[in-house]
Structure 1
Amino acid sequence: MATGWLLSILLVIVPNGYTSAPPASPPLPTCLIPCGEENDCADIHCSWDPMPEAETQYSLHWEPAISENEHVINGSSFDVIINRKHFHHGELRVWVQAKNQNGSAKSPDALFQTNDIIQPLPPKLSLVSHQESVEIFLNSTCDKLQLSLGLCDIQYRIMGDKVWLEDTDVVQGSYSVDSLQPGTVHDFRVRCSCYSGLKSDWSAIHSIRSTETAPDGELDVWRDCGISQKSSDCVVTWKKLPIYQAHGLIVGYKVSLFYNNNTSGLVTLSPAEPKGRLACKEMQCHFTSPLKDVASVSVSAYNSRGATVRSFLTIPIPGKEKNKQAIRLVMNEEKLTVSWDLPSPLSDRLKEYVVQYKQAGSPPGQGFDWIRVKKSATTGIFDGPYRFRRYTPYQVSLFTVSNSGIVHHLSSAIGYSVQGIPSSVPSFKVFSIESTHVTLLWESIPLHQQSGVILYYQIVVESGADRQNVYNVSVLPQRDNETFQLLHLSPGHEYEVQIRAVTAVGPGENKRAKFKTKDHETYGRLIAIVLGVSLLVVACVVFVSYCASHAAWFSYKVPDARNSLIFLNMKHQVNDSLAWICIPIYEPDPKISLLEVVETQPWPLRSSLEKTSDPLTITRLVVGDEGSQMNCQDDSRQEAVAEETGQRHEREKYSKMVDSDEEKDREEDNREDCWSSSEEDQLVSGYEKHFMPTALEVLEV
């Protein structure tokens, strides 16, 4: 405790008692005679820099150089005025003396002529602009002081710059400043002196715009597509020309659009137009219309004297890029460094790299910038105070530009200046539930709400007390929804599941859901129902196939009377025990291909013909839809014709379908009556009598 009190006393005493040494020598004083508005150059103003010692008093001393009459002014100020009545014009000696209780110290002597320390008022000037120069006219006050003119210093700069350019020791009168930027506002200021005197203070700043000329160079044109790479989301953007290239006031831009269908259009944009198609902010401008179906674009800037050459940009097609290249990001609030590896070998067609960043969710033209680097470079740097916001995602992309202007997108990555904890997932639910497994479905956190790079989604499953399983699900890029299947669950049990996103800083807020798995009994009943329905479907398919292969009336054609397949199939159906089940869907109307009509001859002619050894049969053919032929003649002629045409076998098939005894008698009766004029019937069977028209009916038609 005693040591503490002693130290406190020493700390208090030492500063107050630090006066044991005499003061240091004061610096050399500076003296001048400033002139007022009325050109009353009278009093001498002297000043010097203060000394660090406390409790020191200062005094200013002066005397004529050839006299020993000393004058003194005492005080503690560092700026003293010597009134005109206390000195005579000529050579003076001035010094400063410092004094404290331990002694005194004297500064070096300042020796000068009073006329040499006269400081006139700043000159008045006027400016005249020429094409690439400005002429300055000076109006000094030296003549009013009856002093000869001295020299001047002239300073100038482009308006807004911090650095002044200077021309010194300029003769008063008129002076021309050459090599100024055309069409640019420049600031000027001047200070002058009278002969051998001090130079005045700087005059007020005067500004003037140099004469405009056509802008030089070309615009740096690029496109802002937001986070996506779709051309429908892109707008063309460019950086404003620097002052040394603008050569005047840029009054507008010309944008030429070349579409994929080989058409083009020209748009003239002006900041003054009310349509709002041009938006400019800080050092960038952009055309607000999207570049949908645009293949390339060109932009030029113009002023009252002319326009720049057109800058072309080819719009890259998303999805065409194949050579992906990884990029590495180092990012804080003030600086972004992007690095990559050069391809091997380096292509001769490569012109340069373009590195860009885009703040997620920001409108076009905001939170966006790009730089161009040489093709041999492997690093791009964005530097600026407070350029990147905290917890905000920025998409950084790397592009190549060929010598022909073709742009290719190589790679993109998301970066954060400072990462934070992510928000919860927007939605989370159990998509499907079974007895031993379930499927979880959740919506991915939007990029502008992630607050950091999401490393994975963490799923925690709880069942009863102290039973917990944890799953880490990797993030799939560019997915709106994520799914995960929980396996090896117990049937009929209740579970609670929660999900949260995890960044490098830590996990975010949980989202919860509850579910109960199905029982085994319900699951087995469902399998039995599905199996039964499947067997029933198979049986129906087999049954329908069998019927389709045995049902003859599924055919759309009805056989002719000479060889009816229907009768033949009916015979098989009689022998088939299952044929009665197969019911035809429909039976179309039969079509008769060819009908032979036998014209009966008059009785006298018939009697004469009967006497011949070779009876003559006169026939007439009636052709139907199918164009086939059939002859009805006497027995010998019918057999010969049928044998020659290959129809004998068909007639035999037909005869087998008729009952043998009854049909044979009927056939003999028909043959005997073939030439009978009283009946005039054809050789027909019972089937033909039922379905086919008679010869007279055909003739009547």
Structure 2
Amino acid sequence: MDPEWLLLILIGNMSISFALEGLLGPPYPPSKPECHIPCDEICGVDIHCNWNHRFDPRVSTNYSLHWETAHNVVDHVNTGTSLSGLIGREHFSMYSELPVWVQAESKYGSAKSQVVVFNTGNLVKPSPPIFTRSQQDPLEISWKSICNLQSHLSLGSCDVRFRNEVEQFWREEEIGGQVNYEFSGPVRPGLVYEFQVRCSCATGLKSNWSATHKIMSFETAPTGQIDVWKDCGVSATNNDCVMTWKKIPISQAHGQILGYEVKLSSNHNMTELVNISIAEPRGLLVCDEHQCYLNSSLKSVSSASVLAYNAHGATMHSYLAIPEPGKARGEDFINVTMNTENLTISWDPSFWLPDAKSIDEYVVQYKQAGCHLGKGFDWIRVNKSCTSVTFTGQFEKYRPYQVSLFTVRANQQSHHISSVIGYSSHGIPAKVPLFKVNSIAATHATLLWEPVPLDMQNGLILYYKIGIHGKTHGKTVYNVSASPQDGNKTLELLNLSANQEYEVWIQAVTAAGPGANVTTSFITTQPEHLELKSKSHLLAFLLLPAIICCLLILFSFHKGADKACLCINEKVPDPYNSTIFKMTKYRMNDTIPWIWIPINEPPPTMSILEVVEIQCPVCEQDCLSEDQTRPAAPSKRCTCRTNRYSGDEYREMVDSEEEKSAGGGAGRDDCWSSSEEEQDMSGYEQHFMPTAVDILNA
């Protein structure tokens, strides 16, 4: 290390030492010593002294015990860091005065306590008395002292102090030289009374107080009622509640409570009476130091009551307040302030109590989130004139506590006013469990997310911060309210650019700061008119081959058909029973819907064609007249087939039923006379293929 740095460190340490020495100085003087000669089963001969001292733990302090004999000889004994020491029997004379003091020394100086002068003959201090007997009614105690057991000693005076278990301070009486005491004050039944005794011998000091002796006073039947309520958790419904009550106070129990009797009435007019012994709860009763709850759901229970009993009687029935139907008001009606030791709730009744006279009392409760039913739960009943209450206890950091306010009427009907979540301190929240893009369009998108679960918020979530970033959009941040705390939330992003990629993120924010980010991305769609244009181009491309095929077929029809009439025994499909061409006609006429038919549309349903057998003899002469302007009269040797399947019928596509209603197609018995354009058409084309005129008419 650099020598200059070493020199600086040395100078700094010396400066600190000098500063501490000037600041601390010599130690404080010790307290004046207290000295005695202990007398237990065998009395001692040495003098024991002890003292107190306020010292600085940064400074080591040593002590010494000093005394001056009758011959003005000063002596001492070093005790080190101990706050007690003894003076040997050889250093003092009995029944003489002995000045004693204590010296404290440190490296910063020394200090001396006050000097105390003792009479060595009055330093005997007996051990505390021992209780030998007690009785309950009346309250009486007896004891023995070492002064009665030592032959050279006799009992001096005794003091008694007492209190019952609900009292904080002792009451003290001096009773003189006796070894028994009968309590003369008013006795409260069923309470535990505590007694302590101290005595002195004929000469000397009084002993220390004895160990505490407890006596249960006589028992009577308990009085009053049990404070009963219901624990429904943080987010549970009334069907999920359990019946819970506070243990009856000692001042009302008047003895040891042996058990509880619970009466449950169902919605089906059935009543169940349950007797639960504290000694054998059978899993039905769960108790801690202050509360008990019935380990059974209140589902389908219309009313409930409970009483406590001891060996001499029982309390009155306490009825559970049944909630009224109705929705609780918002969180703005009550205010919560809390830290790790106190929870204070205040409210303004003017918001909801136009008929305040009907209110009997308020019930204010809190429930720690995440605790099972019957745990982490407490409540207070207050008069209707009160507008605030305070709970004291140990409230965990970053844990949510749901505080609820109820009103209770004289008929034991309760109404839930409002609930709010409070925290003793706030921390960083967990990340959002679900964040996604719910819908996407060309210029807008909708985001959806789940709120952070209550037991993972670590504090009250003030809002959700959402950011969006795109190449042409820049960066934008939104602060979205976290109220209400439950239910999925959405945010619509507007004024976006089409066909652009965006990145979005979200984080929950408490008073301690934001939580971790959750990020996702999406791409906006094309504008709607561009989509239609691209679809039309695609459809035209797909229809192009079909159009070419149709043109080729028209070109082939244009060459003409056979002029001869060939009559044969054949099976001919009946086009009058088919609807496919009619469907095609409708679609071709309605051009717009036909163009925008989706590509994935299923093919049209084909009609079943009727097959008709026609018996026709072979012609031995032409069926047409020589001038081909009118049909020739058929000879006896030639019967010309009545042509129901002429070109006109194909072009008109008359349905079979329409033909029947029109009289069977009168005037259509002429033979098919082909034009010159139809001279080259085969029989198949004449029967089954439409002509160019057919397609144009369609």
Aligned to 1:378: 387
Residue of structure 2 aligned with 1:172, choices 165, 171, 178: 178
Distance 1:104 1:496 in 2: 75
C-alpha distance 62-287 of structure 1, shift in aligned 2 (>3 A): same
Amino acid at match of 1:197: G
Query: 1:119 touches 1:197 (CA, 8 Å); kept in 2?
Result: yes
Distance 2:44 2:466 in 1: 88
Distance 1:122 1:507 in 2: 64
**Structure 1 residue 368 corresponds to structure 2 residue 377:** yes
Q: How does 1:318-333 map onto structure 2 within 5 Å?
A: 318-319=325-326, 326-333=333-340
**Structure 1 residue 94 corresponds to structure 2 residue 98:** yes
Distance 2:490 2:30 in 1: 83
- CA deviation vs aligned residue, 1:207-243 (integer Å, no higher than 9, x gap): 4444433223322111111113621121111112233
C-alpha distance 531-118 of structure 1, shift in aligned 2 (>3 A): farther
Give the alignment's TM-score, normalised by structure 2: 0.65
C-alpha distance 11-348 of structure 1, shift in aligned 2 (>3 A): same
Aligned to 1:125: 131
- CA deviation vs aligned residue, 1:235-290 (integer Å, no higher than 9, x gap): 11111223333333323212222334443322222344364221112311111211
Residue of structure 1 aligned with 2:246, choices 212, 236, 239: 239
**Structure 1 residue 226 corresponds to structure 2 residue 226:** no
C-alpha distance 204-472 of structure 1, shift in aligned 2 (>3 A): closer
Distance 1:461 1:6 in 2: 57
Aligned to 2:77: 75
Aligned to 1:137: 142
Aligned to 2:303: 296
Residue of structure 1 aligned with 2:271, choices 264, 268, 282: 264
Q: How does 1:208-607 map onto structure 2 within 5 Å?
A: 208-228=215-235, 230-273=237-280, 275-319=282-326, 326-343=333-350, 347-384=356-393, 387-464=394-471, 467-477=474-484, 479-519=486-526, 520-521=528-529, 523-524=531-532, 532=593
Most deviating of 100-109 and 375-384: 100-109
Distance 1:468 1:305 in 2: 78
- CA deviation vs aligned residue, 1:123-145 (integer Å, no higher than 9, x gap): 232232324x5311122333433
Gaps of 5+ in 1: 64-68, 537-579, 585-701
Amino acid at match of 1:266: L
- CA deviation vs aligned residue, 1:442-485 (integer Å, no higher than 9, x gap): 22322222222223333323222662333333335264322333
Distance 2:452 2:348 in 1: 32
What secondary structure, in the 3-state scheme, does the structure 1 residue paired with 2:198 have? strand
Aligned to 1:155: 161
Q: For the aligned residues, what is the CA RMSD? A: 4.5
Distance 2:73 2:344 in 1: 68
Q: Which has the larger radius of gyration?
A: 1
C-alpha distance 58-497 of structure 1, shift in aligned 2 (>3 A): closer
Amino acid at match of 2:475: Q
C-alpha distance 181-271 of structure 1, shift in aligned 2 (>3 A): same
Query: 1:370 Cα deviation (Å)?
Result: 1.2
Query: 1:583 Cα deviation (Å)?
Result: 7.5
Query: 1:394 Cα deviation (Å)?
Result: 1.4
Distance 1:369 1:469 in 2: 46
Query: 1:32 touches 1:46 (CA, 8 Å); kept in 2?
Result: yes
Amino acid at match of 2:145: S
What secondary structure, in the 3-state scheme, does the structure 2 residue paired with 1:469 have? strand
Query: 2:397 touches 2:425 (CA, 8 Å); kept in 1?
Result: yes
Distance 1:337 1:252 in 2: 34
Distance 2:483 2:176 in 1: 72
Q: How does 1:179-218 map onto structure 2 within 5 Å?
A: 179=186, 182-218=189-225
Amino acid at match of 2:77: G
Aligned to 2:647: none
Query: 1:60 touches 1:80 (CA, 8 Å); kept in 2?
Result: no
Amino acid at match of 2:155: L
C-alpha distance 152-233 of structure 1, shift in aligned 2 (>3 A): same
